[in-house]
Structure 1
């Protein structure tokens, strides 16, 4: 069994990560009734025997002594990490795997990337190495961060480049939370574009999630919960329930949004954590979905997005679930893939679903999904036998699709509005190591990425020899 390490950076990254660990523990306890430390648990947890000291672990097959998450938590403010350490999940995190400061990055990418990235480089590398050394067969690093603030965007992308330096052969999958246009951080367009360059150069796969999409989804669920038909009543407390997500405080408005992102992570890791008739290795995602190295932004779509009050009521028909996964309402970014071009698509199914159900639905949906001419069979599928708690089945679709382009164009426009006026630029240029060329290089990188998507869009309906020449992924 392979293992993976989750790296949580910044306030948002740690809040989402906390929700993931809470839900993962619920899933494993629901399946693992005997309390044995098995291969499924070993994929994301260590089994520490406290009687033998922190450094000793119990082998697979023994009783659970003490579970420790394979995680590294980094934040330049103490608040969120302290809240986690005072909550019900406090024993799950190894104190040697935490790194905090007190001052924060002031919503400034340069402070996170340059200042803290340099000051804490050795400590971060040490914690990453320690987490890796606890793995028998390290397969993947999951990085969770946001794009709009300073620590998540700046230090988060610095950690990403350190992962590439230290573990070049280990897959790097990044979940990036993108700010909405109405974001209250005035410098978020700068932070996001500077971070984008790093993601494009150093990640194997990026799962972009838009805050605005999460807000829209939660609003729809709340609206539905007040209008549900008898027998289909939706629980009102949050989307895809996770209780309080491992913290003691009362629910916050963004907790339901964080739950959705945590469920995205649960789905993508399900094949690594549980058995299935068609398991998908995490490194197969990049191998099968990324034909060009820079075009590794995968649009996530998740169904179901809510929990029924009565879990004995069956969720929507299986075929409807597949249709939902390709509807705009279930995507975690605002985009329309059916009007754009698919380079490849992965379907990660959980629950009692047969391979024949998968094939039938792919054949049914294919005519409405425009694929590039040279990859008409560009589907990757995974079947995990264990469904999410409270559901009979679920589906995560990951689409490598040119529909991400409008999101990047909108981000470039917001960046340009600020940059033309040189607004707030001095805050960045005062940081040691930061030069104005960093801005011009970042916006040029984003422009080049947008052009590559535009070139592919222009090939709709053409043959392979007519397609523009993009560098092929190694």
Structure 2
């Protein structure tokens, strides 16, 4: 069994990460009734004997669970979120030696996070990453969770990404990046996002961009369904997947529900690494099958069914309808239009008691409405994990490498240019040691080049090459 390490950077990264660990524990507890440390748990957790010191061989390979420790490194230059985690119900899950905090924060400045804190904490971060890797028998992947709009998430988050490439070049780097909306209250977020984009393009293997506004729209949609009384929707007051204390209520902070959607995405993404299935999809297979060009590694994700903190009882949806939903913009975690753009490849990760024949039948049903690049007309990758999410009979995560992602980058570039033309707030960045104006010009040039690559592919739409190489539906 392979293992993965989660690296949470900044306020958003740590809040999303906390939700992921909470839901993952609940999911494993729901299935692992006997409390035995097994391969499923070992993929993201260590089993240690709290009676032994760290210097002793205190990791337990099998048998009863003594003390689960998350394979995680938590980093934030403003300590309030990490402190809150350490005072909450998950405090025993994290190794305190794997927490790296400061007190002042990055002031919503990419340069402070990347240049100042990156330099100051480099040795400590590398040591924590190495320690986490040493606890793995077969390290397959690093998951980095961060936001793009603030200073620590964007700056230090992408600094950590470069460290991972330098220290562990053979280990895959999956990044979950939360992008700010156009109405973001951090006025410098376009600077931070474009500066971070260059690092993501150069140093990540696979990026799952997630937009705040899309999360807001999904939460509103779920609340409307849950509280409308339509379609037989019922909220269980003793929810098995609620993240937090007590039953669901309307006073939950909005970002709790938003973070939980991202955590559910990660649960589905990692399900094949954690549980058995008739057609498990290894994490490295996502990169191998969905990223034909190294820079074009940004994937559009959509998830069905949709649920946030509440275990909402909706009438069971037919499998065919779930596939239709997965290709609907209402279920995407980023605002884009894949159906009217070009697919490079697509992965479908299903959880539950679903037959392979049903997967194939739905792919054939959907294919006529989706346009794939000429040299990869059968560019589908399918995964089937037999263990469904708690509270649901099945779920579906679709990951699409599609040229529609360019629209997100166009909007980001436009917001950046609007600020940069006026040189607004630029002095806050340029007063940081090692930060020069060329950092901005090189970052926007990198983004423009990336958009050009997508445009070149889009220009081939409608062109079919008769003898183009074709990929079969991977199994």
Q: TM-score range by the shorter chain?
A: over 0.9
- Closer, same or farther: CA 38–339 of 1 in aligned 2, 3 Å: same
1:214 and 1:238 map into 2 onto residues whose CA distance is: 21
Q: Output the TM-score relative to the length of structure 2.
A: 0.94
Show the counterpart of 1:472.
none
Show the counterpart of 2:294.
293
SS of the residue corresponding to residue 403 of structure 1 reads helix
1:285 and 1:420 map into 2 onto residues whose CA distance is: 39
Show the counterpart of 1:153.
154
2:288 and 2:184 map into 1 onto residues whose CA distance is: 34
Query: Once the 2 structures are TM-superposed, how far is the Cα of residue 100 of structure 1 from its aligned partner?
Result: 0.1
Is the Cα–Cα contact under 8 Å of residues 337 and 403 in structure 1 kept in the other structure?
yes
The CA deviation string for residues 127-157 of structure 1, in whole angstroms up to 9 with x for no partner, is: 0000000000000000000000000000000
Query: Once the 2 structures are TM-superposed, how far is the Cα of residue 304 of structure 1 from its aligned partner?
Result: 0.6
Show the counterpart of 2:230.
229
1:109 and 1:383 map into 2 onto residues whose CA distance is: 39
Show the counterpart of 2:199.
198
- Closer, same or farther: CA 311–103 of 1 in aligned 2, 3 Å: closer
Is the Cα–Cα contact under 8 Å of residues 6 and 72 in structure 1 kept in the other structure?
yes
Q: Which structure 2 residues correspond to residues 60-459 of structure 1 after superposition, within 5 A?
A: 60-229=61-230, 231-234=232-235, 241-243=242-244, 251-306=252-307, 314-459=315-460
SS of the residue corresponding to residue 371 of structure 2 reads coil
Unpaired segments ≥5 residues, structure 2 = 469-475
Show the counterpart of 1:471.
none
Whether 1:12 and 2:12 are equivalent positions in the alignment is yes
Is the Cα–Cα contact under 8 Å of residues 70 and 94 in structure 2 kept in the other structure?
yes
2:181 and 2:390 map into 1 onto residues whose CA distance is: 31
Query: Once the 2 structures are TM-superposed, how far is the Cα of residue 239 of structure 1 from its aligned partner?
Result: 13
Query: Once the 2 structures are TM-superposed, how far is the Cα of residue 221 of structure 1 from its aligned partner?
Result: 1.2
2:427 and 2:467 map into 1 onto residues whose CA distance is: 46
- Closer, same or farther: CA 120–181 of 1 in aligned 2, 3 Å: same
Query: Once the 2 structures are TM-superposed, how far is the Cα of residue 223 of structure 1 from its aligned partner?
Result: 1.5
Is the Cα–Cα contact under 8 Å of residues 235 and 307 in structure 1 kept in the other structure?
no
Unpaired segments ≥5 residues, structure 1 = 468-474
Query: Once the 2 structures are TM-superposed, how far is the Cα of residue 228 of structure 1 from its aligned partner?
Result: 3.0
SS of the residue corresponding to residue 462 of structure 1 reads coil
Show the counterpart of 1:2.
2
Is the Cα–Cα contact under 8 Å of residues 3 and 135 in structure 1 kept in the other structure?
yes
SS of the residue corresponding to residue 120 of structure 1 reads helix
- Closer, same or farther: CA 230–288 of 1 in aligned 2, 3 Å: closer
Show the counterpart of 2:40.
40
SS of the residue corresponding to residue 388 of structure 2 reads coil
Is the Cα–Cα contact under 8 Å of residues 239 and 256 in structure 1 kept in the other structure?
no
Which deviates further from its counterpart, 260-269 or 220-229? 220-229
- What is the number of residues matched between the two proteins? 463
1:403 and 1:432 map into 2 onto residues whose CA distance is: 37
Is the Cα–Cα contact under 8 Å of residues 35 and 64 in structure 1 kept in the other structure?
yes
Show the counterpart of 1:50.
50
Is the Cα–Cα contact under 8 Å of residues 232 and 308 in structure 1 kept in the other structure?
no
Which deviates further from its counterpart, 216-225 or 333-342? 216-225
Is the Cα–Cα contact under 8 Å of residues 242 and 309 in structure 2 kept in the other structure?
no
Q: Output the TM-score relative to the length of structure 1.
A: 0.94
The CA deviation string for residues 339-375 of structure 1, in whole angstroms up to 9 with x for no partner, is: 0000000001001111111111101111101101110
Is the Cα–Cα contact under 8 Å of residues 235 and 312 in structure 2 kept in the other structure?
no
Is the Cα–Cα contact under 8 Å of residues 234 and 307 in structure 1 kept in the other structure?
no
Query: Once the 2 structures are TM-superposed, how far is the Cα of residue 230 of structure 1 from its aligned partner?
Result: 5.9
Show the counterpart of 2:29.
29
Query: Once the 2 structures are TM-superposed, how far is the Cα of residue 465 of structure 1 from its aligned partner?
Result: 9.7
Query: Once the 2 structures are TM-superposed, how far is the Cα of residue 60 of structure 1 from its aligned partner?
Result: 3.5
